[in-house]
Structure 1
């Protein structure tokens, strides 16, 4: 079963084709481009590139797996909209995977997973032997350092961990961004069971940077003050 993997919840614009065969999961092609300001421009060419490299036509795909965040609003939305559109156009299911889970799944032991949330904050969670130990949250690195002090966390992965390792009091390790194959692994059971397509609900954890201005009160006519 061939699956298209997408993730735009971090500066890494990720597209990959994974083969969920009887012998395991194999990546047929992958492209990871780090550019925090060009998700919308680079995702479609990345999809075309991995499909071409894998020798796969869109209608050969059995499902789409996409990272649902947490991540900044604009970048995350690019991947989710693309996945939902392709799912509808091709008539195949789409499944969401927490982006932190994909990073955490590649770890062993007790590890902090942290991605950059901008505004001098990080998206974070603690993982134990690849499984979530805490729910995903957003906070300043100094606050996270306090929160994990009793968790026995000495190691961390993710771009956020690299950026704020000193404040967090941890040793930052690879990977910096979620490995594409981990998205496929985390969704494999749903794909093989041909589970119904899921609502791709973004995990923002906070309001977007750009919001509509509050409605202004109407001006009062003379004599109404």
Structure 2
């Protein structure tokens, strides 16, 4: 099975992965990957980045089995860019489109990662419930709580880091508000304190869900409805007030 994944909840990213849903032992193969560190230029860089993944988009695009897009949470403009592109490609190529919460990408990455001490893997990184937190700007974080097995327990939410208590916290939100979290009896793992969701990790998480379920249809993936969690700052002007006569 070959899938294209797109995520713009933080950085602009896209990836193509191959995997066999009938073989849970074999990990997904990364065919191509694009990611930028810039968090504010999604509309300009995403289309060229996606195009660069294909030798011939006209023939290779319609041959995909699915497109999976990160649905956030994320800032309105950036998140909309990725979802709009995924919907356009799905319609143009006639390829099924699915959504997946972007924080799941980091949760599965944490689940896959061991803790190292002196260069030696000594234990799973997540040994109990943990939180993924990313930068929501305005001195807030997007966050969700997961079990040690990367199953969603609570969220997603948007709010101050001070709302999070007594858990391991991973992601760029943890790095930004480490002092606040530490004061709340949380622990921050420095190698993951700048981590952002990417399409590559989203694809790996999607491949795991599909393989565990046995098919795309049974995997419980979402639709492409965005999780903004906030309203857009742009407002439709109200009617003009009548001038006094």
TM-score normalised per structure 2: 0.78
Aligned to 1:216: 240
Say which is worse superposed, 40-49 or 176-185, in terms of deviation.
Answer: 176-185
Measure, in 2, the Cα distance between the counterparts of 1:76 and 1:157: 21
3-state secondary structure, aligned to 2:28: strand
Gaps of 5+ in 2: 111-125
Residue range with higher mean Cα deviation, 30-39 or 73-82 = 30-39
Answer whether contact 2:106 2:132 (CA < 8 A) is retained: yes
Show structure 1 runs of 5+ residues with no match: none
* Residue among 80, 84, 102 paired with 2:83: 80
Give me the whole-angstrom Cα distance separating, in 2, the residues matched to 1:198 and 1:113.
19
SS in structure 2 at match of 1:122: strand
Find the partner of 1:125 among 144, 158, 162: 144
Q: Give the 5 Å matches for 1:25-36.
A: 25-36=28-39
Whole-angstrom CA distance in 1 between matches of 2:6 and 2:216: 19
Query: How many aligned residue pairs are there?
Result: 212
1:176 maps onto 2:209 in alignment: no
The 1:93/1:101 distance shift into structure 2, 3 A limit, reads same
Q: Map 1:67-146 onto structure 2 (within 5 A).
A: 67-107=70-110, 108-109=126-127, 110-129=129-148, 130-142=150-162, 144=163
Q: Is the 8 Å Cα contact of residues 112 and 124 (structure 1) preserved in structure 2?
A: yes
Aligned pair partner of 2:61 in 53, 58, 65: 58
Aligned position for 1:6: 6
Q: Distance in 2 between matches of 1:172 and 1:218?
A: 58
Structure 1, 182-191 or 107-116: larger mean CA deviation: 182-191
Q: Which structure is richer in relative contact order (CA contacts within 8 A, separation 6 or more)?
A: 2
In the other structure, the counterpart of 2:122 is: none
Q: Distance in 2 between matches of 1:2 and 1:179?
A: 18
Which range is displaced more, 130-139 or 21-30? 21-30
Normalised to the residue count of structure 1, the TM-score between the two structures is 0.84
Q: Indicate conservation of the 8 Å contact 2:90/2:96, yes or no.
A: yes
